[in-house]
Amino acid sequence: MFKGFDDEIKVELATKRFEYTFESCWKVLQAALRAEGVNVATPLKCFKEAFKAGNIDEKYEELFVTMIEKRNQIVHVYDFDQAQLIYEFINSSEVINAFENIYSNLANV
């Protein structure tokens, strides 16, 4: 699908942006949960508790598990084809909507 240096740069930038957006997201959720007396140390535990607390709509539960997997893969991606698959996943409207859902729910807290 992608060809050329410009496409490689686009994929690299998007995956790194996803990586730091994901990290920031779970850290903000971690802080919100801590303020409610819930201590979590890992992204998976954080998202599970955030679902219980109503900080994320339940319809995104499986998506966030997949996001954790993709975030972990990004660290070890050395192949453009694999990076491209991650790019296609993170560029989906569902992923964007999931992050917006967290923002909306936390803005109302």
Query: Model's pTM, two decimal places?
Result: 0.85
> How much is the pLDDT for 30?
97
Which CATH code of 1.10.3720.10, 3.40.140.10, 3.40.50.10490, 1.20.120.330 fits the domain covering 5-107?
1.20.120.330
Q: What is the pLDDT of residues 29-43, one digit of tens each?
A: 999 999 999 999 999
Alpha helices in 1-109 (DSSP H): 5-35, 43-53, 61-74, 80-90, 93-107
> How much is the pLDDT for 3?
62
- CA 20 to CA 14: how far, in whole Å? 10
Which portions of the chain are predicted below pLDDT 50? none
